[in-house]
Chains A and B, each alone.
Chain A
């Protein structure tokens, strides 16, 4: 392993944006036949570095060498010519086109002017088969699951004879099974001497699939290590610059009475008879694979989807929830897993996002919004949740993922909910901010609120929940106490096995 040579060397890369030094003399190497993890908190400069490598941004300083040769990457085309391929965190497929049209976009096979569809379909079929994907290449992309889309995206990148492949959080939308498939693909790529740069916040994956790791912090280069020479804690302290005593702070609270009861909820054929209860002072984890119906249950309780049958009780009283508005009035808050689409209003400010669901509280007699009262609340919660924003009037889109999530939490706390349903609370959030989110959840628990936490992050589910229920294909397949819980039991229930 030691004698592997780097295909790619980025040395002393700096990049300044107006007002911010995003990268300061950063190094990154990628070795043929190896996976290099690129680690760092959000805002550490990973994306900027990758954008420089893929030709989206130009560096201010530094050198990029490929196989020892200095190269200039002025645009995305240059990067492609050099064999650099990037799989984006946010999907870049055209969802209105079919799989094969996406795979051959920009490099269509033609006979003169006419597209050779037959040939493209045939080649796509081969590619899909190679990656164990049993779908027709003529399927329109929007009909795929998010996981399948991600796989197509990966296939698209891989199929372009790339020498260096960048994967930016490739598993966020994948199920366990698909993740395993991806790892197989990565092994295959390694055997073909491709260099992979792998960005992820999931530690388990990094230890499983990566050979080396490069850590960035606040735009500076911290170091490169062999993965086998470092521990998880080493990596975390490299990333955050301080020791994290414990990533999952846990507080013991004696649960009170049932605050939320869900009885026999059904929804079309997707959710089949789901019942459970949530006590005050409790964090209930809901585990399960993608598509197991966890988010749907949350949205049914919240009134975003209309349930076919079933009942919801708050504090023992039956509530009739027909819309999110009804749910909020009953004391339920829901934080979607998709912050940008279903949580934030990116064009509005931090303050406006915080108060949007609670504006009537600030109305005076002539229906005017009392802005000073609004500002007081915003400042109070900005401080309470230590949200990093230089002004309440800052547009929320300019905040980091962790701070955006805190803004949404603040919005809901201003509603004084009894029950908080939080879907993938730390998706795409850096390590430091993750812990702060857990602390907020614990604080809510201590105040006697009930928290339902839906998560695909096994360690998070195990580390934070008081009790865990597991779903599989629209049903609850198991309930586990904190003491009994471990990864194996959860996986067993999640794939539908019962005792």
Chain B
């Protein structure tokens, strides 16, 4: 019995997700069909990629509020490179490097300035959003070529390309967090910064690393979003940080750091995506959707809290 309970606790997010799918599929038969499910996965992919990066930051006990703004600015840069040179390679490389650079900027201020990540990224969220408006002059960059919009809209072997990108990002992130020493350092730092530093680990470097990962993840999402829509809007990604944080928390990662997993985050992102899709299929008005989403998050955290006692 104890063993059964411990399995339930371990896979609670996944059980929650399956339960949610089950309920929705009873209410609306349109949910369980291949096209709809692939559609859900595609919609989830942007949030999932951002949330994977966010997981790194949250595992260290930090937070990154600037992800939505990073998405916007990297998307705009990618779009303008495509418009000017039509070089897919250049667009992607520059975008990802820029994401890493912005992440490093966040990380440097958090680590060297010893300022709370919430404050730092709240400020940079505004700065990068402003920079996007300056760069785009406040108007969307459109007229993107087919070879770019391919990324967001095509399928390979029947699987939407954004989903494939998400799987690749997930695999790399999983390897980094579970199989390498840097991953271990991320958990250690979130568990106890002083002990970690006194164990001879350059904690500033680890902090930089997680914000860089988050920046790169946001940049990848920037590319996906821009290519899906076919234009880069300066408003893109507004509020995405909240969905990403929600996915991380629903996936069982502790906001105080040191506990959680990337796999959980994927499940968390799926819960949000399935819920959105289900509510849409049921023709629930967006106003109510927002309320339902919030309630589900509260419920999940309350259940989690109770299990930990």
Contact = CB atoms under 8 A, between A and B. Distances in A.
Interface stretch (A9-17, A279-287, A320-328): A320-328
Nearest to B202: A325
A415 B200 CA distance: 11
Contacts of A363: 180-181
B199 A357 contact: yes
A493 interface: no
A359 B184 contact: yes
Interface stretch (B49-57, B77-85, B119-127, B187-195): B187-195
Interface of B: 175, 179-181, 184-185, 187-188, 190-192, 194-202, 258-259
Contact of A352 (B180, B184, B197, B259): B184
Contacts of A319: none
Given A325-B200, A345-B188, A347-B259, A359 B195 contact: no
A348 B191 contact: yes
A341 interface: yes
B179 A345 contact: no
A342 B198 contact: yes
Interface residues of A, number: 30
Q: Which of A324, A345, A362, A363 has the most CB of B within 10 A?
A: A345
Contacts of A302: 198
B194 A348 contact: no
Contacts of B188: 345, 348, 352, 356
Given A352-B184, A356-B184, A356-B201, A342 B195 contact: yes
Nearest to B183: A369
Contact of B191 (A327, A342, A347): A347
A341 B194 contact: yes
Given A343-B198, A346-B191, A367-B179, 10 more contacts: A342-B195, A344-B195, A345-B258, A347-B258, A348-B187, A348-B258, A359-B184, A359-B185, A363-B180, A367-B181
A31 B223 CA distance: 76
21 contacts: A304-B197, A304-B198, A324-B198, A324-B199, A327-B200, A334-B198, A336-B198, A342-B194, A342-B195, A342-B198, A343-B195, A344-B192, A345-B258, A346-B192, A347-B190, A348-B188, A356-B201, A359-B181, A363-B181, A367-B181, A368-B180
A369 B180 contact: yes
A29 interface: no
Contacts of A344: 192, 195
B200 A324 contact: yes
Interface of A: 302, 304, 323-325, 327-329, 334, 336, 341-348, 352, 356-357, 359-360, 362-363, 367-369, 411, 415
B179 A368 contact: yes
Given A323-B202, A325-B202, A357-B200, A345 B195 contact: yes
Contacts of A352: 184, 187-188
A325 B185 CA distance: 14
Contacts of A346: 191-192
B180 A367 contact: yes
A82 to B, nearest CB: 27
B195 A369 contact: no
Contacts, number: 77
Nearest to B175: A368
Q: Which of A302, A341, A348 has the most CB of B within 10 A?
A: A348
Nearest to B254: A347
A369 B187 CA distance: 15
Q: Which of A302, A324, A411 has the most CB of B within 10 A?
A: A324
A89 to B, nearest CB: 20
A346 B190 CA distance: 11
Contacts of A329: 200
A345 B192 contact: yes
Leading 6 A-B pairs by shortest Cβ distance: A359-B181, A357-B199, A345-B191, A328-B200, A347-B258, A347-B191
A346 B195 CA distance: 10
A369 B178 CA distance: 9
Contacts of A367: 179-181
A336 B198 CA distance: 9
A342 B200 CA distance: 12
A360 B181 contact: yes
Contacts of B202: 323, 325
A360 B196 CA distance: 15
Contacts of B194: 341-342
A336 B259 CA distance: 24
A169 B102 CA distance: 50
B253 to A, nearest CB: 12
Contact of A357 (B175, B180, B191, B201): B201
A336 B199 CA distance: 11
Contacts of A360: 181
Q: Which of A336, A356, A411 has the most CB of B within 10 A?
A: A356
A414 to B, nearest CB: 11
A336 to B, nearest CB: 7
A341 B200 contact: no
A106 to B, nearest CB: 24
A334 B197 CA distance: 12
A325 B201 contact: yes
B200 A369 contact: no
Given A347-B187, A359-B184, A341 B201 contact: no
A395 B259 CA distance: 12
Nearest to A335: B198
B110 to A, nearest CB: 18
A329 B195 CA distance: 17
A6 B108 CA distance: 63
Contacts of B198: 302, 304, 324, 334, 336, 342-343
Contacts of B196: 345, 356
A314 to B, nearest CB: 15
A329 B201 CA distance: 11
B84 to A, nearest CB: 37
Contacts of B175: 368
A342 to B, nearest CB: 5
Contacts of A341: 192, 194-195
A369 B258 contact: no
A343 to B, nearest CB: 6
Nearest to B192: A345
Nearest to A332: B200
Contacts of A334: 198
A362 B187 CA distance: 17
A369 B179 contact: yes
A346 B181 CA distance: 18
Nearest to A323: B202
Nearest to A333: B200
